[in-house]
A and B are shown apart, each in its own frame.
Chain A
Amino acid sequence: MTAKLELVEVSKSFRSKQVLKKLSLEVEDGEFLVILGPSGMGKSTLLRSIVGIEPVDGGKVLVDGEDVTNRPANKRNIAMVFQNYALYPTMSVYKNIAFPLKMAGYTRDKIDKKVREIAETLKITEALSQNVTTLSGGQKQRVALARALVRDPKLFLLDEPLSNLDARVRYAARQELKTLQRELGHTFVYVTHDQAEAQTLADRVAVLHNGNIEQIGTYEDLYEHPGTEWLGDFLGDYPMNFINGSLVGKDGYNVGFRTNWISEGKAGLKSEVELCQATDVGYFVSCTIDGKPIVVQTSRKYKIGAEVKFSLERFNLYKDGKLEEGTTE
């Protein structure tokens, strides 16, 4: 079972702090949507509102066109994986996975069959009889995932499920998760602050900012054509560079460009190198142009204090912080 999720002008406040401001969002059937945003921007609150453990102050939550806004969490048939996995410490792995099935009133035989099936898929069959407190971080994450997947919910919500894992395990888990979702074809809503996760996992990325969706689209789209200066600054390993348009003959605009949208050595913009950082893909040179910090990618190493010259191959034009016009390659 999969479903479409729709949020209509959802609002939520804690005391005087408004966390979600009339947020609207549509998630397509079978889509992997990643909600990306800085910490403390209400990502978790959004998920909790969808699943029903955090009542919303206003707006509607629709699952397959059905209004579930006032339905308690246990009647929504939405599965969720919490950041700390929230495994029941008093139960074995088997009982943890069986719990949602038991609640749904399945027979013992059917529960057993389903639990073993999902354990097989997630390679945790040997751990079934173990106590959850003895598991490693990666295993815990799998058990939490198994518990969410074992029943047939309409939606899967995942709240930074990989953030508690070691870097290497995380990398593998990310790939597995994507494969799993593609095979199962379920609708996933995945919350993270990790851009690399958004990049690898998402069909579409929705960036949350100031209690609303800043922009939604594929990661590439958002990266190439961020709709606002804030998003350009937020997205990417390096923030988008912004300079005054008058420097390149675009009066009245702010010109935004990524570190590699330049051609090096040509006359145009020049500055003094403040820092040159070596990486796998080349050198990143930090400098200042017109009082603004700029980072550009170069093919050769520069000495600190040397002059770096470059011209822009492509750029986006912003007015009042919003994208007006973008050039493509």
Chain B
Amino acid sequence: MPSKVNYATYIGAVLLAIIFLYPLYILFMITFVPTFYTFGQLYPPQLPMGFTLSNVYQSITQLNLIKPVFRSTIVAFIVGGLSLVLGIPAAYGLSKLGARVSNKIIVLLFLINMMPGIVVAIPISVDFLSLGLANIYGVALAQELVVLPLSVFIMLGGFRALPRDLENQARVDGASLGTTMLRVLIPLNRAPIIVAFLLSWMTSWDEFTYAVIISPTSSTFPVQLYNYVTRGVPYEASAISLIVTIPVIIIAAVLQKYLKSQYLTGGMTI
């Protein structure tokens, strides 16, 4: 009976949605409901019992989170930008190699992500200290390690799917390799490139391990937030964390348009 199957599917989907959205819901509660009903109760009510903006107001006035948010933004854009500047040529180059060779290189790229972040972060931070990179720029560089392999992988899929003759045609029409890249290949490949940029941006936005080890002071937003929570101002911190979630939600909405499974297969057919 198809109708029964649909019924069950809907229930499953709704249940899943509730499970995934519940933390976000709690975040909303803590932000906009008076503290008395949330942190003030042993068993807080699950429905909003009141509405207030004082939590938001307090967190903005009392916590110094503007600068960390600003720093996080810079880092996220550096990480996203670098993953394109380094990733596009890498993906293009790999797409020229045979799949047998390029797939092996991709595995090598992912090797760094197979180790726990903290194992990689500690030796890096030691070197970065002596290089004067124990700051947000060092954090951006370290985070690039995490996002670059995936970015290359996603864009490689795009480049592999392009007809080779378009590139040849551009060369025949008088375009240099750089112009061919900028005017023909990148516009054709914009969907995977956007996906790679946004994924890198998002990964950097809430990355914690590298950020806390490489730049513990004057750090990014997640680190600062963590500091406030451990120092005992959780509800103000929660309030502002909701504000910072908003760009991620927007990006996720944009991504959804582009996120097709083929970008994540690196152009390989399974």
Chain A residues near B (Cβ < 8 Å)? 48, 51-53, 72-74, 77-80, 82-84, 86, 88-90, 99-100, 103-104, 147, 151
Pick out which of these stretches binds chain A: B118-126, B161-169, B192-200.
B161-169
Could you say which residues of chain B place their CB within 8 Å of the CB of A104?
Answer: 174
Contacts of B69 in A (CB 8 A): none
Q: Does B184 contact A (CB under 8 A)?
A: yes
Given contacts A90-B187, A90-B188, contact A74 B171 (CB under 8 A): yes
List residues 61-100 of chain B with CB under 8 A from any CB of chain A. Answer: none
A89 lies within 8 A of B188 (CB): yes
> Please, how many angstroms separate the alpha-carbon atoms of A103 and B166 in the complex?
15
Could you tell me if A103 and B175 are in contact, using CB atoms closer than 8 angstroms?
yes
Q: Binding site of B, secondary structure by majority: helix, strand, loop or mixed?
A: helix
- B175 contacts A82, CB within 8 Å? no
Known contacts A100-B173, A103-B174, A147-B173; decide if A86 and B188 are in contact (CB<8 Å).
Answer: no
Using a CB–CB cutoff of 8 Å, the interface residues on chain B facing chain A are 163, 165-166, 168-176, 179, 183-184, 187-188
The distance in angstroms between the C-alpha atoms of A151 and B179, with both chains bound, is 18
CB-CB < 8 A to B170: which residues of A?
Answer: 88, 99
Q: Is A82 in contact with B169, judged by CB distance below 8 angstroms?
A: yes
Whole-angstrom distance from the CB of B103 to the nearest CB of chain A? 20
Contact residues in A for B168 (Cβ distance below 8 Å): 48, 53, 73, 82, 86
Could you tell me if A74 and B166 are in contact, using CB atoms closer than 8 angstroms?
A: no
Q: Are A82 and B173 in contact (CB under 8 A)?
A: no
Nearest residue, chain B, Cβ from A75: B174
A90: which B residues are within 8 A, CB to CB? 184, 187-188
How close is A8's CB to chain B, nearest CB, in angstroms?
A: 22
CB pair A84–B171 under 8 Å, yes or no, is no
Closest to A84 in B: B165
Q: Do residues B184 and A88 form an inter-chain contact, with CB atoms below 8 A?
A: yes
Measured between beta carbons, the chain A residues less than 8 angstroms from B188 are 88-90
Could you jot down 25 A-B contacts, CB within 8 Å? A48-B168, A52-B171, A53-B168, A72-B171, A73-B168, A74-B171, A74-B173, A79-B173, A82-B169, A83-B165, A84-B163, A84-B165, A86-B166, A86-B169, A88-B166, A88-B169, A88-B170, A88-B188, A89-B188, A90-B188, A99-B175, A100-B173, A100-B174, A103-B179, A104-B174
B92 to chain A, nearest CB (A): 16
